Each structure stands twice: as C-alpha cells, then as structure tokens.
Structure 1
Amino acid sequence: MKATIKNISALEILDSRGNPTIRVYVELSDGTKSVASVPSGASTGQNEAVELRDGEERYGGTGVQKAVDNVNTVIANTLIGKIASEQKNIDYTMIELDGTENKSKLGANAILGVSMAVAKAAAKSAKLPLYEYLGGTNAVRIPVPCMNILNGGEHADNSVDFQEFMLVPHGAPSFKEGLRYVAETFHTLKKILKSRGLATSVGDEGGFAPNCKSNEAAIELIVEAIKTANFTPGKDLSIAIDSAANSISKNLDNNYDLSWSGKGKMTSDELIDLTETWLEKYPIILWEDPLSEGDWEGFAKFTKRYGDKIEVVGDDIFVTNTKYLKKGIEQKTANSALIKLNQIGTVTETIEAVRMCREAGWRYFLSHRSGETTDTFLADFAVAMDGGHLKTGSACRGERIAKYNRLLEIEHELKGKSEYRWK
C-alpha cells in the first residue's frame, strides 16, 4: 500500500542573511518523516513566483507567518490523505489551490516548502536516496561546481559591477578533485588580496568582495590566483561570470550603467562589443545574464555572436518558467537556462523546465539563492537532473558548504559508477 500524507506543518526560521523563511515538516502514514527549508533570492527577476511576506512591523515586514499559516491550514487540509509518491498531483493541487499565475495567494515559499518536503518523504519511504528517487538509476553524474570566488553588484557592497565571478574546475578528474581545485584557488586569492591591502570579507554567497578598479581587474586577480595555485587557466580552471545585468540597467532595457568600474553608460551593442575583448583575453567559459531581462533583442544578439564559444545563460529573463523558456528557445535568446526551484515554486515545474531545455538541445545550470539554508535538497536535485554543472556559493559559509559536502557523499555512495564531466 502506498504511503499517504498524514501530517504537514511549518514554522518560520531564518535564512543565511538573517531573514525569515519557511521550514516544512511532512509525516506519512508509514511513519516516514521529512523536513525541507526554502531559500530566498536578492537579485530577482520581475516574473519570479512570489514569496509571501507579512508586510508588518516584525522583521521589518519580511516575516513569513502568513505563508506558515497557509501551510498549516489551507495546504495541509487539502493534501492530507493524498499519496506522497504522486509528486505531480501534489504540486498541481497546490497550484490550483493558489489560483494565481505567480503563486501570490498562498506564497511560492509555502508551496515550495511542501513540494520539497513531500519529495523527500516519498524518497525516504521508498528507501531511495533523493537523487535516485527523482532521477532514476541513471542519476550518476556529479555536477561541476561553479564556485563563487568574487562578488559584486547586488551581492556585495563594493565597486564591482558584475554580481558573480566563478571558478569552473572542468579539467578535474572527479568532483572531489574539482572541489579541491576551487577551494585551493579560493584560499590563494585570499592571500593575494590580503597582500595588496584589499578586503577579504565575503559577500552573501561567500565570495570575496574587494574594491577592484574594474571588472577586468577582478578577472585578472582570479587568473593570477589560478596560476599561483599551480593550475592552468582554461585547462584546469576557467571562469564563469554572472553580470546580473538587471542591476546595471535602471529601466531593464538596452541601456547599462557600468560607472562603478569606470566604463560609464553603454548600450547593449556597446556592451556586446566589449565582451569580445574579455573573451579573447580571459578563460571565460560561461556568461549568465549578460543583458537585462527586458533586452530580449540584445540577449539574442549576444548569443548569436558568442553562443558557439561559451554557454550563454538566461536567469532573470526566463525565471525557470516554461512560458518564458519557450519564447527564448523560439527566439534563440540564449543556449542555456538557470534553474532555481524557488523561482517557479514546485519540484514538478522545475523538472518541466529542465525537460524543456533538454528537448531544445539547451544546457541548464542548477542554482542556489543568495539567501540559503543548510538544506541539501539542491545537491541531490542537481544529480537527479543530470545537468553537468551547479552553482551553490563559495568555499566558506555553512549553508554553501553543506551542498558541496552532500555532493561528496553522493560521489562516495556511487563509488565507481559516478561521472564527472562539463558536457
């Protein structure tokens, strides 16, 4: 007999930025229990599913008691008695219960917490690790860790325009070694920054946040760290960039302001031209959100020009939503999509976005959020989805390390069956 949902409850906890988020508990009829905690983003797209916040005095309006109440009452009353292994039915029942396009009635945070906790409980009830439960017996590929090593933009209080500069250990023979490559280079960069009197404090995702003279200066520091750590740029380690271009485009159009780094105001065409210089000079392998979510034409121009050289990832422009992904695929806006569970709000819809990317021949890049918890759901999910790469922060901060350590566990569990490759 298939296990059914016996109880669902939630409480308000704090995420890695000290802001409220939701933790959901699920109990099944066979005694299985699970818990899931929901992340929260700072750099968000306009069309993301909506986190329900209280808007009252406590926590400066960011409390989530209303979302918690929705889990404890409306959602619990509807889902109790349903078969836990029927994930799609569970998720679409909540979507219909909410009744809005962006989950603003019940809250995407409430819905996702339940969706994740039910998936965990069903996996545990089936006596399967979560990655195998969601991805099947062929879920053996451990993602290449795109580690955040230097922060700017919305994730740091410094003079760097772009939000993330990441290290990509695509030349390593295994995840364990790849993690070592990036961790050693992270610590080497810290020594270089300290020797030059630059800040070694870190941003929301654990990357360093020094005041660099320019975006190029930030890249050059990273290349120096790679070499100093005795790795070869472009062979052992390459660089991935997340411009998070919404933060440098006031009206989310084709105009950009790179004043912090001295470039001043630019059009998308000028920014696209400038990119060529960087790609020729530096070992860049992936570029996320090079243009704003409103600059569809510019995004397509960027992809047409550089898509055969690098992975061009759309994040804010697609928000893990098949509606926008379909448009992007038709218009050849990018060749990859960032995948975030809480951008869309259910496990099922996230899997559907991944499937759409696969069918279009696109890559998909699994991602954490800047406001994280120690929940390791994302690590298992990345293996289940077979995407080949993942970003979940730097080589510090416990909420980031928890995901990396879980991936080490999965690689160990798989023994000789695990795979590690960029493509």
Structure 2
Amino acid sequence: MEAGGRRERRREAAGYYRAQRVPERMEEALNALFPLRPGDLYGELANYLSKYSKAPIICKLVGRKVLDGVGQPTLEVEIYCTVKNYEQRICSTVMSCHSRIPENALPETIEADEKERNDSVNTAVEWVNESLNTMLRDLEPTDQCQVDKMLGEYFTNKVEEKKEIQKQVEEEEEAEDTPAITPPTPSPASPSGKKKAAKAGKKLSVAERPIPPAEPAEPVLCGSLAIGGASLAVAKAGATISHIPLYSHIALLKHDQEPPEEITLPLPMVTLLNCEKISPSKLKFVKEVMLIPPVQLSLKQGIERVLHIQKEITRLLESPGKMPDPQPAESKKGRAQNPGKKGLPQFLKRISHLGCLTTGYDDVEQLLLVMQTACSNIGLQLGTDVYLAINCAAHELMDYDKGKYEILTGTFKSPDEMVAMYGELIDKFPFIIALIDPLRKEDREQWSNICCALGSKCYLIAEDAATCISKLKIDQNINTPMCSGVVLKYINQTKVSDLIELTGILDGQRHITILGSPDGESSDDSLVDLAVGLGARFIKLGGLSRGERVTKYNRLLAIEEELAKNGNLRETKLEFVAFAEDSQPENQLSDELPPPEQN
C-alpha cells in the first residue's frame, strides 16, 4: 500500500509540473515563431496582409501657381493616391521655366514674355485641376508608360486645337484684308531692294558665303508646363509607392525593370563666373566659366575643391592690386584684343541668377590667366587638379546684318574664323575640356569642322539645339549638328518617357548626355535624381550659391553617400570621341581618348 501510495503521489506531482510547464512551452513556441513584441507582431501581420491589398491608384491631381527661384510664376503639381482605402498626399513637384529672352532684351520684350509666362502657368493650373485630374484618375502611379502616353495624346490634341484656331483667325484676316492688297504699289520698292542687295553683296568678299538664317523658335503651347509637371509628379509618386529613391525608379524604367548593378554619378559642371556679355567693350563669346572636378576625387571632395577656388577668385577680383598683369605677347594672337589699353575688369558684387559671381572681361586670355593664378595660389593646377568648361552661347553673338559673330564690341568673325579661333584657344589652354554652343546650331558645316579638329581634345556640346526636346528625335536619330553630346532640360511638355528614350538613343550613338538646369530654377531637386537614374555624364546646375541651386548639389552629395554605403557606386570616366572627317552625326564610332594630364 505504501509503495502504491508513493507511485500515486509521484503521478500527481508529475501531472502538476506538466500542467505548470504547458504555458511556458507555449510561450517559448510563440516566441520562436514571432520573436517580436506584441505591437511589432501586429505590424508584421499587417504588412504581410497588405501584400494582398489593392495596389495604390491615383485619386487626385492638384495644380497651383507658385514662384520659382527668380520670383517668376511657375507650376506645382501634387499627387494624391488611394492607399489601403485611404486618400493620401504622396508627393509634389515644381516645374522650372526656361527663359529664352536674351540678356539685352528690350523692356517691352521682357514685359511681353512675363505676360505670356503668367498666362501659360494659369492655363497649366487649369489643365491639371480639370482635364488631367479626370484623365489620370484610377491609374497606378508606377505605370509611367501609360501615364506618359495619355499625356502625349492630350498634348497633341491641344496642339491640333491651337492650329485650327490659328487657321480660322488667318482666314478671317485674309478675308478682311483682300481689298487693301489689290493695288500693285510695291513696284518702286523692288528695285531699291535689289540695289540694297547688290550693295550688301559688294561688301562681302567673294570667298565668304551667306550664313544660313536662324531657325524659327519652336512655339511653346500655352499650358504645356502641365504635361511635364504631371509626368514628373507621377514618377515621384511611383518611387514613393515603391519605397525606393527616385533615381532608382528612373533607372528601372530605363532598363526595363532590371536594376543596374552599379550607378555612375554625373560630374558637376559648376558655374564659377557669369561674364557680362551685354556690357560695352566686354568679351562676348564667353557667357559662363565652369569648373569640372577630376574623376579621381569623390563628389564631396570635388565640391570642396571648387569652393576653395571660388573663394580665391573672389579675393582676387575684390583686390585689383593682386590681379595678375596681362601678358602683352598674348594679345597679338588676334583672339584677344590688347588688354593693356583697358583697366582690369571691375568686380560686380552681386550673385547672378545662375548662383555664381558676376564679372566682365575684354580679353579671354586675361580671364584664363586669372583662373590659373587663383588655382596656383592654393596649390592647384588647371588640367590636372581641375578642368574648365566654357559656355559660349554663340546664338546670342550673331549679327545678322553683317553675317558674323561679334566676339567683342566691334570685332566680328565668320563661322569659319570662329572654328580657327577655338582651335587656337584649345591648343594654348588644353585644360578647357568642354565648349558649350561654340557655334549656332544652323552652322552645321562648321560644327562638323570643329568636331573633326577638336573632338579628340574636348567635348563639343550643343545646348541651344536641345532646348526643345520634341524636335530632337527624328526617326531614332538626334536632330542636332555633329557634336559630342547635348544638354537636355526638363521643361514645358517634356515627359519622363521622352528623357528615357532620348538618353537611350544618345547612348547608342555614343553621344554624352548632360542634364541642365534652366534659368528660372526652382527648389525641386528631382533633376538630380533624373540625371543619376538616366546615367548622364555631366550635370549643369549653375553655381554654388542661391538656395534653389545649392539644394540640388546637396541632393547629389546625399545620393553619392547612399550609393557608396550600398556599394553600388561606379567611378566616372572622362572620354573624348575622335571624329572621323567623313563621319555623320549618327555614325561616330571612333576611338575615345582620356583628357590630358590626368592623375
């Protein structure tokens, strides 16, 4: 009995202990399955179930008028999406306006341009809040191709409507003017016109040929900002919904959803000086002087180096006694007039809308000598530690009465003489590795000549020819003169798909892509993500002043840090294209050469 009692007591004790251990074992099992706090556990379950919820869709677009960096009106587009049955504001984008008004425009021209821009922004706001809001509703923000296709069709319809209206207006005007045109009065004017033409012909030498006239400016449809603004806003919304940076989203769109293993950052073309082309007796064929840091530096190191040079340049310009004396021998090259007859350039203590110093020179060699002195003072050497790029903006130099470029007040050169002048300039100063718009886009023969002569020494870049992206692509070819690359600007009716398609064509034809910042810049930094995602070789953002431009440099630095942390950053290369003399713009398949004196 005692033995049985002991066994019974042992069974009861074992059962008691087993009962006590069951909750502990259950807790251990649950902890093994869900090693999180209860709040975290519910979050994990919510995230798991959200995978089966409906994809976010666009529910609303909001357009409004805002101001850009120079106080001009522009367009902001907001995107709202339905996410898990709730309406959420996803993102917004602010468009930049590109001004085609030259520096020396008349006040009435500027006033007319401001009125036209204001009307265009008002129309764009109306398009976004009404037509585009209805048209893009219920589309997925990640479906960029479908969105851009619908935006393109909408814009085409608006263009056709505008043409029909213009046609009706012209027909009505012709009907009203028909009685006034009947008398044949222009007979005495025609002979005088012939005499004038003959006199003009006598003034031209036999060897000179008439220059091709300027191509008419591409008309900008009132309200076209709405197309570009909506497309970019949808791209930003797609990136936000996908929980990836915008540059990664753009790279996926360009590479058919295949993420690139490595990403190359574009080299910045940092504007250091904005030369006063409209000032009397000033050098006119240099609009911007830009610094390009070497590829062996990180972007952060390159920006710091540019800042050091900028401080030294400012110190030199503010202290005329410390300026280097111009060399008399250099003034006999014909490219630069005698600098000894004029005083040193006056430093204008103001920051240009490009975010850089503003100054004026009457001699290009004096300008470059100051650059060399500034670098030398801080222990740097042009051509090794930093490079130069010059924006010539040649389309602003042409005197159509004389048929020549006015490179200095009263000094004119034909297109062929311009090619020779640039050749001498690059030979003497090989640290200049890029010329932007050295000629008008209409001087295609001279573009071919300068590419064959200098293509293996520097980049010959077309910017003015690329202001209207809709004109660039014709049957899978780039409709520009022969050049090393083009500057693309995200303005007006440009869509994200347009940039992706164009950069793909440029890559295939061995052109380089430069994404450029318009004059009327905004604080939106999407341009940097576009440049990184599209694989642009350079990015042209202006100077290191003014918030709307510094914001973009900060974004570029942030992307570099992120890519370096993830191990996805690939080193940039500087390579030139040696053009064959008989090559065409679409068949530039010659050897590439590195820039001179690189470490």
Q: Identify whether the pair has TM-score above 0.5, normalized to the shorter chain.
A: yes
Q: Output aligned runs, 1:28-39, within 5 Å.
A: 28-30=81-83, 31=88, 33-39=90-96
Structure 1 residue 294 displacement after superposition: 1.8
1:68 deviates by: 1.0
1:320 CA displacement: 5.7
How far apart are the structure 2 equivalents of 1:61 and 1:14? 15
Q: What residue number does 2:117 align with?
A: 62
- Alpha-carbon distance in structure 1 between the residues aligned to 2:402 and 2:465: 12
Q: State the partner residue of 1:149.
A: 272
Task: Answer 1 or 2: higher relative contact order, Cα 8 Å, separation at least 6.
Answer: 1
Instruction: Give CA deviations for 1:211-265 in whole Å, capped at 9, x if unaligned.
Output: 21223333332222222232221111110111111111244997311124x6x11
Given residue 398 of structure 2, which amino acid in structure 1 is its aligned partner? S
Larger mean CA deviation between 18-27 and 169-178 belongs to: 169-178
Who is 1:26 aligned against?
79
* Contact preservation (8 Å) 1:357, 1:364: yes
User: How far did residue 156 of structure 1 move?
Assistant: 9.0
* SS of residue in 2 equivalent to 1:199: strand
Equivalent position of 1:402 in the other structure: 551
More divergent stretch after superposition (69-78 vs 124-133): 69-78
Cross-structure match for 2:298:
174
**Paired residue for 2:489, among 337, 340, 347?**
340
Among 55, 66, 71, the alignment partner of 1:2 is: 55
**Are 1:112 and 2:228 matched, yes or no?**
yes
Mark the runs of 5 or more structure 2 residues left unpaired by the alignment: 1-53, 103-109, 161-217, 253-258, 321-345, 575-599
Gap change, CA 1:398 and 1:158, over 3 Å in 2: farther
Asked if the contact 1:172/1:236 (under 8 Å) is kept, the reply is no
Higher radius of gyration, 1 or 2:
2
Q: Distance in 2 between matches of 1:220 and 1:80?
A: 59
Stretch deviating more after TM superposition (145-154 or 63-72):
145-154
Structure 1: segments with no counterpart, 5+ residues: 46-54
Deviation at 1:388, TM superposition (A): 2.6
* Number of residue pairs the alignment of both structures matches: 412
Please state how far the C-alpha of 1:80 moved relative to its aligned partner. Answer: 1.2
Matched, 1:272 2:396: no
Task: Give the match's secondary structure for 1:317.
Answer: helix
* Aligned equivalents of 1:339, 1:91: Cα separation in 2: 18
CA distance in 1, matches of 2:487, 2:449: 19
Against the structure 1 CA distance between its residues 42 and 176, is the aligned structure 2 distance closer, same or farther, given a 3 Å change threshold?
same
- Check the 8 A contact 1:148/1:164 in 2, yes or no: yes
**2:308 aligns with one of 170, 180, 184:** 184
CA displacement at 1:268 relative to structure 2: 0.8
Superimposed CA distance per residue, residues 132-179 of structure 1 (whole angstroms, 9 cap, x where no aligned partner)? 111144362222111000113679999342221100002442111111
- The offset of 1:92, in angstroms, is 2.2
Report the secondary structure of 2:359's partner residue. Answer: coil
Moved more, 326-335 or 200-209: 326-335
Cα 1:252–1:140 shift into 2, 3 Å:
farther
Residue 368 of structure 1 deviates from its aligned partner by 0.7
Instruction: Name the structure 2 match of 1:15.
Output: 68
Q: Is the 8 A contact 1:158 1:210 kept in 2?
A: no
- Amino acid of the structure 2 residue aligned with 1:367: G
* Fraction of identical pairs, as percent: 25
CA distance in 2 between counterparts of 1:397 and 1:129 reads 25
Cα distance between partner residues in 1 of 2:369 and 2:523 = 32
1:315 aligns with 463
Please state how far the C-alpha of 1:418 moved relative to its aligned partner. 1.8
Looking at structure 2, the residues matched to 370 and 155 of structure 1 have their Cα atoms a distance apart, in angstroms, of 17
| Cα 1:422–1:397 shift into 2, 3 Å | farther
Paired position in structure 2 for 1:50? none
Secondary structure in 2 matching 1:405: helix
Separation (CA, whole Å) in 1 of partners of 2:241 and 2:444: 44
Change in CA separation of 1:57 and 1:235 when aligned onto 2, cut-off 3 Å: closer
Instruction: Answer yes or no: is 1:71 the counterpart of 2:195.
Output: no
Q: State the distance in 1 between where 2:140 and 2:278 align.
A: 41
Among candidates 141, 150, 162, match of residue 84 of structure 1: 141
Distance 1:332 1:61 in 2: 30
| CA separation of 1:344 and 1:77: change in aligned 2, threshold 3 A | closer
- The equivalent of 2:514 in structure 1 is 365
1:219 aligns with 2:219: no
The one-letter amino acid of 1:389's match is: F
In 2, are the aligned partners of 1:253 and 1:294 still within 8 Å (CA)? no
Normalised by the size of structure 2, how large is the TM-score?
0.64
CA contact (8 A) 2:435 2:460 kept: yes
Alignment-derived partner of residue 298 in structure 1 = 446
Q: How far apart in 2 are the matches of 1:164 and 1:343? A: 24
Q: Find the residue that maps to 2:491 and give its secondary structure.
A: helix
The change in CA–CA distance for 1:134 and 1:304 in structure 2 (over 3 A counts) is same
Q: Is contact 2:525-2:555 (8 Å) kept?
A: yes
Distance change >3 Å, CA 108–CA 331, structure 1 → 2: closer
TM-score by length of 1: 0.89
What do residues 174-198 of structure 1 show as CA deviations (whole Å, max 9, x unaligned)?
Answer: 1111111112111111111111252
